[in-house]
Every structure is written in structure tokens, then in C-alpha cells.
Structure 1
Amino acid sequence: MAGKGRGVAVRAARRPEVRLPELRGWGGGRLEPDGDYDGVEFAGADLSGQEGAGARFLECAVRDCVLDGAGLARARFLDSVWEGVRAVGADLSGAVLRDVEVSDARLGGVALHGAEWERVVVRGGKFDFLNLRGARLRDVVFEGCVLVEPDLAGAVLERVSFRGCVLRGVDVAGARMADVDLREAAELEVVRGVESLAGAVVTPGQLVELAPALAACLGVRVVP
């Protein structure tokens, strides 16, 4: 993708193409660790505190569900959609999201360290204190999201873009980036690891805003 006339080539993220089959409704009960869910619609379910570590969700829809404190470490969500999901303190560490569309979610304090996202689109919603330490994000698009104090320390981001997003208090210390497009972010505040933005693309205006942090990182003193 050409960089808005400035001659900067940025490889665009590959988007998911989710086409769900006819789904069967979730019959209730409790999730099972290492369970296998194929073509299931979870609609309006309260899955708070349930344990589904290692479970596989293939071609599933999770709509208007509550996942507060749910244990979904190492779960795999493949060719699936999340709509209106609410979760506080859920454990999705090491989870895999591949070919997933997320819309209007509200997540707070969710553990996603070591997670793998590939071909994921996130539209709208608010995300507070996401722990994405050491996660791997490849071909991920955030659109119109608010992310407050996301922890991306040590993460690997490749072909990731933020369009119309508010990014506040971002920690990217030790992160590795390639083709990360920040130019369309509505707000960009990096509080730690600004030196790890190598591989990202910003606008001249954003660069000015980042200048104090960059100067401090380089040990440059700015004296009037």
C-alpha cells in the first residue's frame, strides 16, 4: 500500500473472510477444558468463571456474552466472530485467534500474554489494560477502538494497523514491529518503549508529539 503520497510502502494486513455455516444454539451447561465446539452460536450466555482452557471453537459465533473471569488459556478461536462480548479479568493467555472478526467488545484486564492473532479485525469497542505481553499479532486491523494502557511489551507485530483508534498509555518496550501503521490513529500516547517503534509508520505530526520521548530515550537534553 502506498503511503499517502509520501513514497512510503506499507504492506497492508490481510483481512479475514469469515463465512459462518448454519449454526446450532448453545445448549447451556458449562464449558469443558479441551472441549471441541464446531458451528455453535453462543448468544446472550453468561460464561463468567467457566473453565474452557485448551478448547477449540471452529466456525462459532459468540454474541452478547459475558466472560468475566473465564478461564480460556490456550483456547483456539478459528473462523469465528465475537459480537458485543463483555469480559473482565478473563484468562486468554496463549489463546489463538485466527480468521476472527471482533465487533463492539468491552474487555478489561484480560490476560492475552503469549496469544497469537492472525487475520483478525477488531471494530469498535473499548479495551482497558489488555496484557498482550509477548503476543504475536500478524495481519490485524483495529478500527475505531479505544485502547487504554495496553501492554505490548515484548510482542511481535507484523502488518498491523490502527484506524481511527485512541491509543493511550501504550507500553511497547522490547516489541518488534514490521509494517505497523499508526498514521490513522486518532490519538497516540506511548509511555514506554518508544525506541521499539522501529518498523512502525507515523505522520509528521505524530513524530512531533513523540519527539520528547524519543529525545529522552536517546539521552538528548532539550534546553531552550
Structure 2
Amino acid sequence: MDKLNLRLISLAGAFAAFTAPGALAQGQPVAWSPSYVGTCATCELSGRNLTGWTLSGANYSEAKLDYSVMRGVQAVGVNFEGANLTGADMRGAVLTNAKLADGVFAGTRLQEIKASGADLRRALLHGASLQDAVMIGANFEDAELIIARLENADLSTANFKGAVFDRANLRGTVFNGAIFTDARMSGADITGASFRDARLPGANLQTVKGFDEADFEGACGSLTTRLPPAASLPLCTNAQLAANFSSDSN
């Protein structure tokens, strides 16, 4: 092969390396592949296409993933704590037992995700779309779901202690056995939602829409629970409150 061809090949390789999208793991370049399960904390991946990637067990804490495309990502046990996922497309992602505490999911598309057991404490989900999501037993303590859409999602036994659902769309959402201690739902639409056996001590549902069309069989509250006019819930028993405390401590 002559020197000219060798030089052209060398230049082409250099150009490809320069233009190929990349990530940084602990300051080192990470190969752009459909599977990366190492450490990529604080990576700059805004707007990247990670569709179909396998990230299970990876550490992406505080990574910048805003407006990225992550449809169908397999991310069981992934660490996205403090990550910025604003506007990301994560439809159909598998996030079972994922660490998502303090994450930013403003306007994020999370329809049909599988995230049972996920930790979303203090997460910001303003305007997020979670329709048909399955997040059984997830922890949303102190999370903000303002104007979020959760129609027909299954959030049974989840922890919503101190969570904010102002103006959220909760039509047909399943909250069976969930904890809503001191949660707030100002202006939320709960038409057709199921709160069977849910515990709502101190929760504020005073201005919700569709209270009479929601299912509260077996649910309970406290003297500080605020409900729409003429609505009522039985007071939680000591056994129910003890179960509440036990679940909160997990």
C-alpha cells in the first residue's frame, strides 16, 4: 500500500475518533457501545441516543442526560442519583430497583417503564409522563410530581410520604396499599384511581377532582387528613400506622 493511501486511512481514522460521540468514566474515555455497566459519574451525555443500551448496575450518578433518547434501556439497579434527565425519552425502560434519588425528570417521558422497587426520594418529576408505568413498591418520599401524568400506572405499595401531586393527572392510577403520609394533591384528578388499603394520615386531598369516583375501600386517614366537603375516611388503626412506620423505614 503506498504512502498516500496510508495517510488517507490515518486521517479517516483520526476524523472518526474526533467525531464519534463519547463519554467520560472517571476522566477516561468510554467506548460508545450498546452496553456499558461501569462508572460514568458526572458524564456529559446530553441529547445522546442510548436506545436499547444495557446499563444494569452502572453508576451514572449526577450525569447529564437531559434530552437524551433512552427508549427500552435495560437499567436494573442503575445509579442515576442526582442525574439530570430533563426531557429525556425513557419510554419502556427497565429501571427495577434503580437509584434515582434527587434526580431531575422534568418533562421526562417515562411511559410504560418497569421500575418496581426504585428509589425516587426527592426526585423532581414536574410534568413527567408515567402513563402505564409499573412501579410497585417504589419510594417517592418527598418527590415532586407536579402536573405529572400517571394515568393507569401501577404504584401499589409505593411510599409517597411528603410527596406533592399538585394538578397531576391520576386518572385510573393504582395506589393500592400505598403510603401518603403528609402528601399533597391540590387540584389533582383522581377519577377512577384505586386507593384500596392506602394510608393517608395528614394527606391533603381537599381540592382533588373525582374523589367520589375513586376507590378508597380499606383506606384510612387521620384527624389531620384533609378531604373534599362531605367526604370521610376511617381513622387508621394502630396496626395500620405501625405498618406505615415499618414500610417507611425500609
Aligned to 1:6: none
Residues 34, 56 of structure 1: 8 Å contact kept: yes
Cα deviations across residues 24-62 of structure 1 (Å, max 9, x unaligned)? 799224451111112211122110111011111122111
Aligned to 1:14: none
Q: 1:196 aligns with which of 171, 193, 203?
A: 203
Any gaps of 5 or more consecutive residues in structure 1? 1-23, 219-224
Whole-angstrom distance in 2 between the partners of 1:85 and 1:109 = 14
- With 30-39 and 206-215 compared, the bigger mean Cα shift is at 206-215
Whole-angstrom distance in 2 between the partners of 1:172 and 1:151 = 7
| Cα distance change, pair 208–100 in 1 and its aligned pair in 2 (3 A) | closer
| Cα distance change, pair 140–212 in 1 and its aligned pair in 2 (3 A) | closer
Which structure's residues are more often strand, by fraction? 1
| Cα distance change, pair 170–201 in 1 and its aligned pair in 2 (3 A) | farther
Aligned to 1:84: 92
Aligned to 2:32: 27
| Cα distance change, pair 37–207 in 1 and its aligned pair in 2 (3 A) | closer
Number of aligned residues: 195
Whole-angstrom distance in 1 between the partners of 2:204 and 2:152 = 21
Residues 195, 217 of structure 1: 8 Å contact kept: no
Whole-angstrom distance in 1 between the partners of 2:152 and 2:173 = 5
Shift of 1:212: 6.3
Higher relative contact order (CA 8 A, sep 6+): 1
Aligned to 2:144: 136
Cα deviations across residues 153-210 of structure 1 (Å, max 9, x unaligned)? 111221112122222112101112311211132x332521254143333332547746
Q: SS of 1:37's equivalent?
A: coil
Please report the TM-score for the alignment, with normalisation by the length of structure 1: 0.77
Q: Which protein has the larger Cα radius of gyration, Structure 1 or Structure 2? A: 2
- With 159-168 and 104-113 compared, the bigger mean Cα shift is at 159-168
Q: Which amino acid aligns with 1:61?
A: V
Whole-angstrom distance in 2 between the partners of 1:155 and 1:212 = 17
Q: 1:215 aligns with which of 215, 234, 248?
A: 234
Cα deviations across residues 84-141 of structure 1 (Å, max 9, x unaligned)? 1112211100101012112221111100001111111112231111100011121101
Whole-angstrom distance in 1 between the partners of 2:131 and 2:198 = 24
Instruction: Tell me how large the CA RMSD over aligned residues is.
Output: 2.6
Residues 196, 215 of structure 2: 8 Å contact kept: no
- With 29-38 and 144-153 compared, the bigger mean Cα shift is at 29-38
Aligned to 2:9: none
Aligned to 2:192: 184
Alignment of 1:47-196 (within 5 A): 47-185=55-193, 187-196=194-203
| Cα distance change, pair 31–216 in 1 and its aligned pair in 2 (3 A) | same
Please report the TM-score for the alignment, with normalisation by the length of structure 2: 0.70
